[in-house]
């Protein structure tokens, strides 16, 4: 049953919902990770609605909560440098590869950088993707400074005139200050070589409201410019993404819907809302 079915049924009919009904609807909406602020805004509007246009009214309300910022990769420099960040296991490395595949398919030249130097396996994982996609991967020795790998990759991308450089970073918990400070350093070192086009934060759609805390803290550390929302192929509806867009005005730029290179697409607000309202 769609997330908003009960709500729609209540406002569509002529009968007025009881306060018991409204609190049940509220609980249901809260369970979808939309977050308390957005849920109470929605309920306030819904209580004033009547009639068959309820669905389009709710769609309009939700749409108005989405960011108005551009959703394409913002770039003006000869090499568009994209840094990919996020907590452990959200799908960063896979998304780096998928984004490379997406851009490569468009005919653009792409270089990848394995700046997750904590684990040799992380470099191998990206290298395997690079081989599969026919995209070069810059890496350092195991235990190398992530900032130095990132800096070398910027130099290489500028020399090669790559249109895009996508830099993978190690997963880190947003509440670990030293790791967040290290990420800030990687960013500053990259910017010594070239301006950053984007800092993309990867959010796992199944993480719930914690995603909002992740987005806040990563933004403070590295000025996140966009989101990649992964694992939307599962049961998660990704309500948290709406909460992030509304609260922090960070646009979702891409979505991940599986483990394959093609399970990736630019974010389309209308089909996302279709999914929430289905
Ligand atoms: N179902 C599904 N699985 C995904 C998606 N994106 C990534 N995964 C899987 O999630 C797991 C973790 O993905 P990684 O790309 O290694 O995640 P990461 O953020 O780089 O992980 P760390 O570097 O360890 O922090 C892998 O098994 C991926 O195949 C997605 O959109 N859908
Ligand atoms: Mg990784």
What's the pLDDT at 10?
A: 72
Pocket mutation for ligand 1, best pick of 83, 86, 91 (most atoms within 8 Å of C-beta): 91
The residue among 75, 81, 92 whose CA lies nearest residue 154 is 81
Q: Along the 278 residues of the chain, how does pLDDT read in single tens digits?
A: 466 777 777 776 655 667 777 788 888 888 777 888 888 888 888 878 766 667 777 888 888 889 999 998 877 778 999 999 999 999 999 999 999 999 999 999 999 999 999 888 999 999 999 999 999 999 987 778 999 999 999 999 999 999 999 999 999 999 999 999 999 999 999 999 999 999 999 999 988 889 999 999 999 999 999 999 999 887 766 788 888 998 999 999 999 999 999 999 999 998 888 877 77
pLDDT number for residue 273 = 83
Separation of alpha carbons 50 and 17, rounded Å: 11
SS3 for 82?
A: strand
Report the alpha-carbon distance of residue 243 to residue 64 in Å, rounded. Answer: 12
* Contact in structure between 218 and 174 (CB atoms under 8 Å): yes
DSSP type of residue 260: S
* Stated pTM of the model: 0.92
206 C-alpha to ligand 1 centroid (Å): 12
Q: How far apart are CA 128 and CA 134, in angstroms?
A: 10
- The per-residue pLDDT for 1 is 44
pLDDT at residue number 236 = 67
| Cα Rg, the chain, nearest whole Å | 20
Query: Longest C-alpha distance within the chain, in Å?
Result: 68
Nearest atom within ligand 1 for CA of residue 256: 31
Does the beta carbon of 207 lie inside 6 Å of ligand 1? no
Is the CB–ligand 1 distance for residue 122 below 6 Å?
A: yes
Burial class (CB in 10 A: 0-12, 13-18, 19+), 258: middle
For residue 240, CA distances in Å to 59, 131, 144, 202 come to: 16, 34, 35, 13
Ligand 1 mean position, distance from CA 59 (Å):
31
Note whether 82 and 166 are within 8 A (CB).
Answer: yes
Q: H or E segment at 197?
A: strand 196-204
What is the structure's pLDDT at 30?
83
**Which domains are seen in the chain, by residue range?**
5-65 (no CATH), 80-277 (3.40.50.300)
Q: How far is the CA of 234 from the centre of ligand 2 (A)?
A: 20
- Answer yes or no: are the C-beta atoms of 166 and 94 closer than 8 Å: no
Measure 235 CA to ligand 1 centroid, in angstroms: 16
CB 241 within 8 A of CB 252: yes
């Amino acid at each position: 049953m769609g997330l908003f079915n009960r709500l729609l049924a209540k406002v569509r009919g002529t009968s007025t919902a009881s306060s018991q009904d409204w609190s049940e609807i509220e609980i249901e909406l809260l369970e979808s990770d939309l977050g308390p602020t957005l849920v109470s805004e929605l309920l306030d509007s819904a209580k004033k609605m009547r009639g068959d246009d309820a669905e389009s009214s709710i769609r309009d309300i939700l749409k108005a909560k989405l960011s108005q910022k551009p959703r394409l990769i913002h770039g003006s420099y000869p090499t568009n440098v994209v840094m990919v960040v996020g907590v452990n296991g959200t799908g960063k490395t896979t998304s780096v590869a998928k984004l490379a595949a997406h851009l490569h398919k468009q005919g653009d030249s792409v270089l990848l950088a394995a700046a997750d130097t904590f684990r040799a396996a992380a470099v191998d994982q990206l290298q395997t993707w690079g081989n599969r996609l026919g995209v070069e991967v810059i890496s350092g020795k195991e235990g190398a400074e992530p900032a130095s790998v990132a800096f070398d990759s910027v130099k290489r991308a500028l020399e090669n005139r790559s249109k895009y450089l996508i830099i993978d970073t190690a997963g880190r918990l947003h509440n670990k200050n030293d790791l967040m400070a290290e990420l800030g350093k990687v960013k500053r070192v990259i910017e010594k070589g070239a301006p950053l086009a984007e800092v993309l934060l990867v959010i796992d759609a199944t993480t719930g409201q914690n995603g909002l805390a992740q987005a806040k803290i990563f933004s403070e550390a590295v000025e996140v410019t966009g989101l990649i929302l992964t694992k939307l192929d599962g049961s998660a509806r990704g309500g948290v993404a709406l909460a992030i867009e509304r609260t922090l005005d960070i646009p979702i730029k891409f979505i991940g819907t599986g483990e394959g290179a093609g399970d990736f697409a630019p974010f389309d607000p209308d089909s996302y809302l279709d999914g929430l309202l289905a």
